[in-house]
Amino acid sequence: MRSRLRRGNHEIRTRNHRHPKWVSKSGAHSATSYSKGNPQASNTLIPKGAKGWNSDVLQPGQSYTHTFTTKGTYDYYCIPHKSLGMVARIVCGKPGGPAESGSIPSSDEPDNGIVPPSSAIVKKNSISFPYVPNTGHGGPPALFWGGIGIFSLTSVYLFSVYDRKSGRYDDSSETDFEIASDSETEDTRDE
């Protein structure tokens, strides 16, 4: 089982005594559990009694394997890219543990997606980044047309504000042009 480390996460489900393998395809990456004693781990987000892990930084082509022996939800991160939101989740057997009730620190959250709930990982077995939950909004077409509508209304409003502030509709006696009355135009026609 492979979990590609890249800018973002790759959430998987595994079973007890399985050995997920992390392979660094490019750049320097790590697979490091949110657990006591690991660098930059501000809280513990692995099941009670579970063994934490730290692959250390892997260079391209290097890999790391960890054996999960305790059921539950495990959150982990990449040491060099944690601040960029390179965090992920593994569910071993059944969801459970601190990762279910706690959350990844907000400073570690991915900037274009979220870490999916364990129930979504269990349902699909594997979720690639970015994970965007179904919000019942009607899908991308509805979002597109809704966005166009909001943009259009905002544009019309801003143009009308600008137009009113330009002074174009002020009641001033000074105007840029005058319309001649019929009597003024008749004098020039008769001559």
Q: All domains of the chain, ordered by start, with CATH?
A: 2-128 (2.60.40.420), 139-190 (no CATH)
Pairing mode of beta strands 32-33, 10-14 = unpaired
Pairing mode of beta strands 87-92, 10-14 = parallel
The residue type at 173: S
Residue pair 115/73 in contact (Cβ under 8 Å)? The answer is: no
pLDDT interval class at 7 (50, 70, 90): very low
Q: What is the pLDDT of residue 133?
A: 66
Residue pLDDT, tens place only, 15-60: 555 778 888 888 899 999 999 888 888 888 899 999 999 999 999 9
pTM: 0.61
Please give the average per-residue pLDDT across 60-68, as a whole number. Answer: 91
Residue pLDDT, tens place only, 103-132: 677 666 665 566 777 777 777 777 766 666
The residue type at 56: D
Residue pLDDT, tens place only, 128-180: 666 666 666 666 677 778 888 899 999 999 988 888 788 776 665 555 556 66
